């Protein structure tokens, strides 16, 4: 099944009309625009000419049959195919160092199968990831720039090929969407942009009855991580750590104090992004120290 990039929405909401219905499990190939709706694709394009109403498009929403509130939408990222050009920018007032800039700057970078070319000087190894991915929240509408319990703009580098994302379902059909693919991005996304790249993403969608996590959980070959977005990085770290402790208690025969000691020894607090309206952190724990190594 295929979904083209002219079917986009700019918020996650239960009032958005589905552009695709699918049974589950199903693989869906989703074309995405970059976070600027492909408006900045040439080196001399200007940030100031941007139509800000078209920022952070997510392709969708996809109605997943059988997904009901309280269920879990399991999203396996099977493949991310990148365009050959990506855009990175920074400007006065935005990001961690926006106060150190005057004006606005951007580069359009060439992308090969292995690397992205920075100024003809450095070949940056690709670190493909999906910035915006989520489902409709229970109430109201959350714009695609903001991450939360529903996913959204989590800008988390772990959301890459081979990873499995578990999202809580809040509304019938889940109303899933994704966009904002980055070819390369450092943890934090400090300059407010990754290498923003149109792409084609293939995901496998499955419904797990019940078990909705409070915040999204990501699994890769070696680890599980809880991804939490809060007003501050401090709060996000604390809450992700707490949720991981509770997650492990259900999957380990160890006592709570022993789990906490083990988390302290082999678990990692990592920062996803520090530049969006809510900040995102994750707590990463290796599967090999769990008795039950499943979601
Ligand atoms: Ca983003
Ligand atoms: Zn982005």
Q: What distance in angstroms lies between residue 253's CA and the mean position of ligand 1's atoms?
A: 38
Q: Ligand 1: distance of its center to the CA of 158 in Å? A: 14
> Per residue of the chain (295 residues), what is the pLDDT tens digit?
999 999 999 999 999 999 999 999 999 999 999 999 999 999 999 988 899 999 999 999 999 999 999 999 999 999 999 999 999 999 999 999 999 999 999 999 999 999 999 999 999 999 999 999 999 999 999 999 999 999 999 999 999 999 999 999 999 999 999 999 999 999 999 999 999 999 999 999 999 999 999 999 999 999 999 999 999 999 999 999 999 999 999 999 999 999 999 999 999 999 999 999 999 999 999 999 999 999 9
| Ligand closest to the CA atom of residue 182 | 2
Integer Cα distance of 181 and 204 in angstroms = 17
CA of 55 to the centre of ligand 2 (A): 10
Residue 181 Cα, ligand 2 centroid: separation in angstroms? 6
Strand runs labelled E in 157-278: 164-168, 176-182, 199-208, 217-219, 223-230, 268-273
Three-state SS at 11: strand
Q: Report the C-alpha gap between 267 and 40 in whole angstroms.
A: 39
133: CA distance to ligand 1 center in Å? 10
Cα of 185 from ligand 2 centre, angstroms: 9
Residues 148 and 229: their CA atoms lie apart, in Å, by: 5
What's the CA-to-centroid distance between 154 and ligand 1, angstroms? 7
Task: Quote the pLDDT of residue 51.
Answer: 94
Distance 199 CA to ligand 2 centre (A): 12
Ligand 2 centroid to residue 194 C-alpha, Å: 5
In the prediction, which pLDDT does 48 show? 87
How many whole angstroms separate alpha carbon 267 and alpha carbon 183? 27
Query: What separation in Å is there between the alpha carbon of 210 and the centre of ligand 2?
Result: 31
What ligand is nearest to the CA atom of residue 33?
2
């Amino acid at each position: 099944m295929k979904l083209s990039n002219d079917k986009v929405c700019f918020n996650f909401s239960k009032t958005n009309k589905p552009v695709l219905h699918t049974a589950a499990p199903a693989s869906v190939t989703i074309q995405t625009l970059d976070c600027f709706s492909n408006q900045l694709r040439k080196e001399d394009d200007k940030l100031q000419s941007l139509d800000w109403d078209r920022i952070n498009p997510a392709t969708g929403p996809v109605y997943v049959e059988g997904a009901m509130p309280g269920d879990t939408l399991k999203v396996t990222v099977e493949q991310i195919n990148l365009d050959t050009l990506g855009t990175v920018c920074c400007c006065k007032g935005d990001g961690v160092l926006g106060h150190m800039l005057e004006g606005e700057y951007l580069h359009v970078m060439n992308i090969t199968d292995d690397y992205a070319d920075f100024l003809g000087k450095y070949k940056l190894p690709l670190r493909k990831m999906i910035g915006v991915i989520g489902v409709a929240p229970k109430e109201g509408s959350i714009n695609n720039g903001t991450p939360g319990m529903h996913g959204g703009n989590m800008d988390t580098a772990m959301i890459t090929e081979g990873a499995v994302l578990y999202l809580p379902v809040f509304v019938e059909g889940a109303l899933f969407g994704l966009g904002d693919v980055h070819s390369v991005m450092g943890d934090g996304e400090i300059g407010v942009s990754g290498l923003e790249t149109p792409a084609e993403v293939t995901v496998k969608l499955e419904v797990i009855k019940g078990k909705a996590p409070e915040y999204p959980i990501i699994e890769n070959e070696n680890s599980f991580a809880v991804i939490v977005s809060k007003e501050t990085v401090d709060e996000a770290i604390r809450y992700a750590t707490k949720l991981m402790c509770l997650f492990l208690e259900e999957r380990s025969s160890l006592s709570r104090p022993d789990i906490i000691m083990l988390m302290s020894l082999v678990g990692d607090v990592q920062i996803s992004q520090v530049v969006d309206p809510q900040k995102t952190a994750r707590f990463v724990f290796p599967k090999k120290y769990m008795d039950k190594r499943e979601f």
